[in-house]
Chains A and B, each alone.
Chain A
Amino acid sequence: MNILKRPKQIWLLPAFLFSHVASADWFALNLRKGVTEISREVYDLHMLIFYICCAIGVVVFGAMILSMVIHRKSLGVKAASFHESTKLEIAWTVIPIVILLGMAVPATSTLREMYEPGEPELDVEVRGYQWKWQYTYLNEDPSKEIQFMSALLTPQDEIQNRAGKGEYYLLDVDNPLVVPINKRIRFLITSNDVIHSFWVPDFAVKKDAIPGFVHESWAVIEKPGIYRGQCAELCGKDHGFMPVVVHAMEQEDFDAWVITKQEEAAKVFEIVGKSWSMDELLEKGEEVYARNCAACHQVNGQGIPPAFPSLVGLGIPVGPIEAHIDILLYGRAGTAMQAFGQQLNAAEIASVVTYTRNAWGNNMKDSVQPKDINTMMASQ
């Protein structure tokens, strides 16, 4: 940087610029090679076709540019009179067909590999919601099934430019999908509302999550690491804010993670059963609200009417508490208000209901206990 202030060393400038370019992330210009056999094959296929296109471009554009340089009226050129040539026309029909066949063969074999059925060693259900993912580790014993939501972690302050942006701006989630390496993982992809698309560039996996369909895709990850992708299909307001983060780790680390998760599930069971104080509910509720509700209803509860109604002083939060719990659990058809019953646990539902009834001057002074939520859900 200093060289810019020292004219005598200006000769260093090209070197400085070059080093800057050389250090630039080349991923920012091209596809990733990724970390699976398939993703590398896709990369090679991409480069092959790219080079073929470049070669054709050089020939065609070369002929055009040459012609534009030498066949100019200003150079005194008289126009030739030819206007057809069966031989030429056959040649430039047949040659492209041959080139296309050269592309089709490797493309077909890669595609067949991608569709190769194989015995999955881990099944993960990926379910798209507006605007987060739900991961379920399928298990024959339902009590051992791990299930959690994965939502954007980037704070609103960074998005709205009130705070500096972190390294993984928009590409960070609260709970990443955790998987073991060197295992064939099958993703069973579906959606709860609109169409989303589950995409992890490093695995060359992109599959639409469509309500009413379960699509499958698979990957064998070769290297531990954190791999980031995004929802690829327009899914409404926060389409740009639902990243996919996959944490791939060694098998033993994964096993340890599974045990922690199962213990956590047991703990949730315990806290749902206990009695909560008002302060505990409000504290937890504020946190749940920020993560799940603020994107639409806004941090101050004012919403963005009419699509996302205000919660302050009117409507559901100041009405009967049963209706309030009902809309949280089951959503409201035909609106963006989702059914949170499957996404949040009873403690989260209870606390966020309590919070919204008592925040921003909504002085309802009532509350609900997690175990009551469970009772309500069971009675439905």
Chain B
Amino acid sequence: MRNGAEILKLGTLTITWWCIIFGAVWIACYLVGVALPMMLSSYDSDMARMTAETLKALTPILSVLVFIPINAMFMVLIERRALAIFTVRLGPNRVGPDGYLQTAADAVKLLFKEDITPHGADAFMFTLAPIVFFAPSIFGAMPLLAAVTNYHELFQIVNLPTGIFFILAASSVPVVGIVMGGWASNNKYSLVGGLRSAAQAISYEIPLVLSLVTICLLAGSLDVVQIAKQQSGGILNWNILGGGALRGLDAALALKFSNSAASLQQLSAMSPEQVIKSSYVEPTMAALGLAAGQESMATIIAVIAVLVLIGATFIAYGLYMTGACAEINRIPFDLPEAESELVSGYNTEYSGIKFAIFFLAEFTNLFIVASIAAVMFLGGGDCPVPAWLGNALGGPQLASVINQVLNPLIQIKLVDPPTLFAAIWVILKVYSIVFFAVLIRGTLPRFRIDQLMDFGWKRLIPLSLIVFLLVVFAREFVNVHVGS
């Protein structure tokens, strides 16, 4: 390990910043959503009650407003430090302790820079563009909050029955901002960048949406909270592994490895083999209308269907990540801002606070697509270790120790253990995806625009349609999330 020391530094930096970001959000939410309403409840008046309700309702918005700027600062920092490690450099390590405050300093610098509107630019559109680019990412993040906080009572308000639909609709709006900015800048490079972005977003949104539709089909719901809840109970239940097709296996394994009375009771005292049979062979036989003697054939079909579902959902995940990379203009799909061709693309003419907003929105979008992946494919706030394995490894003991340690905080409602654990798992999942995106950025060159279009229309879209069709047929023979 030549870079061991640097990797260690990156780790400490990450954990410190996580504590800062999520601590700040946590405390802000606690003050506004819990502590203030509790204080107000001592006054017995309508006014106080109304204020308390309003404060509670405002908590999700507040949390997002606190979270987005700090988080973007941190993501820029971690990206720069991680890239530095990939590229045998040191990275920013001067401002604050070991460079922890580099991006905060950059943000301050951008705030105080002169805000230039170029000659001949459409000033109104030029100002509107970064706002149109940034605002949807805040709206889009909202429904996810309920899913990633384990449906905490404070965040129930932002959940929508059509959550994923709303998120996708919101995430399609930023491209309007890019085209607007490119057009209003009165610069040919910006114009080409803006138009490229429009073409790219249209092409890559299709595989992205189709891959998510595949998951919605398996989940039988558009509600992100619903989809996250279905996946609880370990990695075998996650959508990335068959969208619930392995739940029967999970139940059988739980039965096999667990001796606790509760789980036995829950599973109505069947043997593991019976569980497998009831969750795989019987639905297949029912679907095909097979007679009692044809179990071997049903088994083969069930196995094939399960394998197809696992493969299809895994490919859907890959399609989603590819489409998402293109959607948020990251390497290898960063054509709208291709530096070696278009200087800086649509944001060439932007400086100061407007550029800062573009930058902020870009990283927020990265975070949001990573969160969508975490919720839709990777089980949201679910622990990847299945409960039966966790019990064997001493999970309950660990949880009770943590509960005891946190007891004083739980008493004043500062900490809610299920929400805390969900948040920790979500953070780990989302940042793993972010880190993966950084790794990609440190590895690949850029596509050419025509190759990008070829790749999108001739490869990704047919592939996503095939995956969709496979799932449509395969789920008929297996119990997936939707049937239960």
Do the two shown chains form a genuine complex with each other?
no
Binding site for A on B (CB under 8 A): none
